[in-house]
Amino acid sequence: MPKNTSRLLAVAAVTAATALAATAVPAAAAAPPAATVSVPFHTYDGSAPLASLAPGTVLKTRTLQYHLLGLPTPVKAVQLLYRTTDAQGRPSANVTTVVPSPTGDGSKAVSYQSFYDSLDPQDSPSRAIAGGLSLGGLIPNAETLLLAPLLLQGYNLVIPDTEGQSADFAAGPEYATNTLDSIRAATRSAATGLDSATTFGLLGYSGGAIATDWAAALAPGYAPDVNSRLVGFAEGGLLVDPAHNLKYVDGSLVWSGVIPMAVIGVSRSFGIDLKPYLSDYGLSVYQQVEYGSIVDALGRFPGLTWKKMAKPQYADPNSVPAFLAAVNRINLGSAPAPTVPGYIAQGDGGVLEGTFGNPPGIGTGDGVMVAGDVRALARQYCAAGNAPVKFQQFDLLSHVGVPVVWAPVALGWLKDRFAGRTAPSDCGHIPAGNSLAPEQPAPAS
């Protein structure tokens, strides 16, 4: 085994153990990102207006050692600041990390979308890889266990900061543009070893699945040049219709913390202010997680509901027009169907993680993601007829449990796509799911 990769695997094992231990420690109150840990590389300071530059344009380049828990490894990484587009369609700058495989060439690469799920930009993969240390940043460190086998098999890695530089949590369309323009930038930089002939696979779980699916869906329209080089997308634990997820996790023991995270992420992404709709208690919760990560939120507010957070007249989230419009914009059911093969996996054992909800028309899930929504989306992709869809539902596994069985299948599935083998299809055998129609305003009281 090459020296670089064996050392990467060894350090990754330590990282994963440390990350798991850290998540068992009660999180401190979230605080705004400290100015002292800001990274100038992440800020565009060029003279040309971003709007004058094409998406995917490389703005800055630096080469550094891949860090784990703040410690440098012998593995080289190239980071790029590039021009992209935010959730509101405005030009923005973002960072991606390219890790060349020590055993391969530039012919194939995997764009890996991290599940760092945070409202703090300091928790992004690029900062963790550059040596930054934060509680939320332990997640991209632990993900090295999944990435190391890809490097061993000769795949180059492209790891975008999917949430952008303001940590726009759960903003699917922005996750997509950040991911697609990351691929463009990676193939336009002479420092990466990748070029316009490099083929790509998309890979992500949970928050990374949001970016993966949205990227596959928007690629034909937003980045046809990238879409023509995609071999497929593999994902698990997917957020489809956020309005359904909020009702599913309402009152849960662990995952209810995503309710305030979603409120904040939607507000930030689309430039809306939802604080006027919140109760005093809701504002307190908002402030506690405003710059927190999923590590801060999970299990922190057991039994939390939207109704507890909102003023009485807004007990139904559909009574807030701005919020309703925003969640409908990030409903994958209204997005185009991908034109490349997909592998989609989903758990349905959410009771194992303290989510006992079974709302009418929504049903159960893995603790945070709604199984019926994922089935409906897979069937929708099949009905479009653009490409084969492999679908697996694990009825007895929860959101944390699915990756153990999903990851090896996903890696094998991608390997077959790169090899040009015919993609398998479960179309015609996927059970019925939920309606993914846009949410409607709450009836006037």
- pLDDT tens profile 182-229: 999 999 999 999 999 999 999 999 999 999 999 999 999 999 999 999
Predicted TM-score (pTM) of the model is: 0.92
Length of the chain equals 445
201 phi and psi, to 5 degrees? -115, 150
Identify the domain containing residue 233 by its residue range.
3-26+50-241+337-353+366-418
- Reported confidence tier of residue 326, pLDDT bands at 50, 70, 90: very high
Does the pLDDT value for residue 11 go beyond 50? no
Same domain, 175 and 229: yes
Same domain, 165 and 257: no
Same domain, 165 and 307: no
Same domain, 251 and 227: no
Q: What is the CATH number of the domain that holds 313?
A: 1.10.260
In a domain, 234, yes or no: yes
Does the pLDDT value for residue 41 go beyond 90? yes
pLDDT value of position 28: 40
> CB neighbours of 82 closer than 8 A, spacing ≥ 6?
56, 57, 58, 59, 93, 94, 95, 96, 181, 182, 184, 185
Same domain, 133 and 181: yes
Determine which helix (DSSP H) or strand (DSSP E) holds 178, and give its type and residue range: helix 172-188
CA-CA distance, 294 to 312, in Å (whole number)?
27
Average pLDDT over residues 251-276: 95
- Out of 28-42, 149-163, 367-381, which region has the weakest mean confidence (pLDDT)? 28-42
Mean of the per-residue pLDDT values of the chain: 92
Average pLDDT over residues 118-125: 97
In a domain, 43, yes or no: no
pLDDT value of position 85: 98
Same domain, 124 and 261: no
In a domain, 444, yes or no: no
pLDDT value of position 104: 87
Residue 114's closest CA among 145, 83, 90, 155?
Answer: 145
Residue 238's closest CA among 366, 148, 352?
Answer: 366
Does the pLDDT value for residue 103 go beyond 70? yes
Q: What is the CATH number of the domain that holds 99?
A: 3.40.50.1820
Same domain, 268 and 375: no
In a domain, 36, yes or no: no
Average pLDDT over residues 54-64: 98
Percentage of residues in the chain with pLDDT exceeding 70?
91
In a domain, 125, yes or no: yes
Average pLDDT over residues 132-148: 94
Does the pLDDT value for residue 138 go beyond 60? yes
Chain center to CA of 151:
21
Same domain, 162 and 292: no
In 2-64, alpha helices (H): 3-23
Average pLDDT over residues 289-297: 94
In a domain, 42, yes or no: no
Same domain, 87 and 232: yes
Does the pLDDT value for residue 365 go beyond 50? yes
pLDDT value of position 443: 87
> CB neighbours of 23 closer than 8 A, spacing ≥ 6?
138, 295, 298
Same domain, 278 and 170: no
- Out of 61-70, 333-342, 435-444, which region has the weakest mean confidence (pLDDT)? 435-444
Residue 237's closest CA among 412, 407, 352?
Answer: 407
Same domain, 228 and 258: no
> CB neighbours of 355 closer than 8 A, spacing ≥ 6?
248, 249, 252, 253, 254, 255, 365, 367, 368
In a domain, 423, yes or no: no
In a domain, 425, yes or no: no
Residue 129's closest CA among 76, 81, 165, 175?
Answer: 76
Average pLDDT over residues 353-374: 98
pLDDT value of position 445: 65
Same domain, 99 and 116: yes
Percentage of residues in the chain with pLDDT exceeding 90?
89
Total of domains in the chain: 2
